[in-house]
Amino acid sequence: MSNHWKDDIIAGFVVFLIALPLSIGIALAAGAPASAGILSAIIGGIIGTLITGTHITISGPAAGLIVVISGSIISLGGGDLLLGFQRTLAATIIAGVLQILVGVFKLGKLTFLAPSSVVHGMLAAIGTIIVVKQLPVILGVTPTSKSITGLVVEFPGMITNTDLPIFLIGGLCILLLIFWKYVPAKLGKVIPGPLLVVAVGLGLSYFLDVEHPHNVNWLERLFHVGPEFLVHVPESIKDLFIFPKFDIAFTLKGLLSVATIFIVGTLESLLSAYAIDKLDPYKRVSDLDYDIIGKGITNICCGALGAYPIITEIVRSSANITNGAKTKWSNFFHGIFILLFVALLPDLINHIPLSALAAILLLVGYNLAHPKHFVEVWRHGKDQFLIFVLTLVVTLVEDLLIGIFVGVLANLTLHLIRGVKLNELFSPKILIENSAEEIVLSLNSNVVFLGYLKVKSAIEGIDKTSTVKIETNGYFIDFTIKELLKDSFTIKK
């Protein structure tokens, strides 16, 4: 235990207040039991701290995997959500083994070969899917369709069948979250928005007596409220556990689920850990290969015990730093706080309205698919915007794995059409010259996303506080490499 335990306990407690409602909401949004999200946060906090290559991150369930886990549960369950979840747990264990192998063979750096436009498109698609799937929950209606296009078609009918008391809870929670973004930062730290929303939701739940089925007469119409609109978590700790089924783990469907959980989970974890290193006030550098080994071991535990898969969660990690965390032990404490809350106050969790959690997730989804991401990619060229939109649309219509594959293939094809030579794909020509006034980074060939590792290796020895002049010499530099250079230096154009 570090000498900073007081700072880490305080930060861990604040993160716990944010993580508890998010963990439950994320699991439910994916079609998993609420207990899976709670267990994921506990396991990610406790076990994830003991085996980690990072210094200040938070591990747990993340919105980025909602689409993956939801698709796996539906695909593997054949209409039986519990069976689909049990088979998804098996896929999570196998994906965890693959993550360990990635770390052992030091292959984590290959994650950074993903084109930025594809990553942005993937995240925008995930955000869009989250928003579309949470709208029926906020409206208090049960749609018949499971597909995104089907839900969009059903939306006008959902509005006419809105359950007004449930929508009141969700609508107020959305307005509260929007308002809370503008309160003084000190107040926002003391009372995180998700915690406030859950508190308000609980108050309305008790006021409307949602726990007991009955009808409410509002505006000369009868609306139904009942416990089906509330979270349900077993009151006994031992009843939280659900065990995996491996019966179809090595069929085509099973292996596709494994591949998607592995690829998206690994990609998100490593990119998030890399991003958090840039926010670390002590400028520590994570051992990403060791960290993905830790994620693999933790995910094996998650799959074995009935928990949602964990990744390095960037929003909670940012909050962790903002609230004064100094070491990895803040992650441990956040897991302990969640464990204590579930053990001591399970009945309180079962009064949280689903629409309050949906409001939190709706804002999470909106931030992932925020219009500013569209604008940012557009500024880097119409070709990158095309890849971004293609990844987004294919993911929405098909699934995440196909969306990523199509985006990467289209990006590579565009570069080849543009005239990028095969030998330039992985081995761009780079020259670094130092002078008393500045560092000149000269790019003497086309540089695309597949050259990321060579560029990163070449610039690692440069003092990151130096002013760097980039000379492209008329060659094409793609979006991914531009982001790398922008994140690495103060660039003098």
Every domain range in the chain assigned CATH 3.30.750.24: 423-492
pLDDT of residue 147: 86
Assess contact for 96 and 298: CB atoms under 8 A: yes
What pLDDT score does 190 carry?
A: 83
Give yes or no for residue 388 having a pLDDT over 70: yes
Q: How would you write 318-364 as a 3-class SS string? A: HHHHHCCCCCCHHHHHHHHHHHHHHHHCHHHHCCCEHHHHHHHHHHH
Q: Which residues contact 290 (CB under 8 A, 6 or more apart)?
A: 52, 53, 103
> Mean pLDDT across the stretch 323-343?
95
Q: Residue 52, SS3?
A: coil
* 399-454 pLDDT tens trace: 888 999 999 999 999 999 989 999 899 899 999 888 767 888 899 999 999 999 99
Query: How high is the pLDDT of residue 464?
Result: 67
How far is 379 from 39, CA to CA, in rounded Å? 42
Compute CA distances 153 → 70, 131, 148, 150, 279, whole Å. 20, 15, 9, 5, 42
Compute the Cα dihedral for 123, 68, 269, 365 and give only its sign.
Answer: positive
Residue 430's beta-bridge partner residues?
443
- Residue 42 pLDDT class (50, 70, 90 cuts): very high
User: If pLDDT is split at 50, 70 and 90, which confidence band does 16 have?
Assistant: very high
* CATH for 423-492 (3.40.1190.20, 3.30.750.24, 3.90.1520.10, 3.30.1130.10): 3.30.750.24
Tell me: pLDDT of 362 over 90.
Answer: yes
**Residues of 362-377 as b/e, b for ≥16 C-beta within 10 angstroms?**
bbbbbebbeeebbebb
Q: Which pTM does this prediction carry?
A: 0.91
The answer, yes or no, to whether residue 1 has pLDDT greater than 60, is no
The reported pLDDT for the residue numbered 2 is 58
Q: What is the pLDDT averaged over residues 288-295?
A: 96
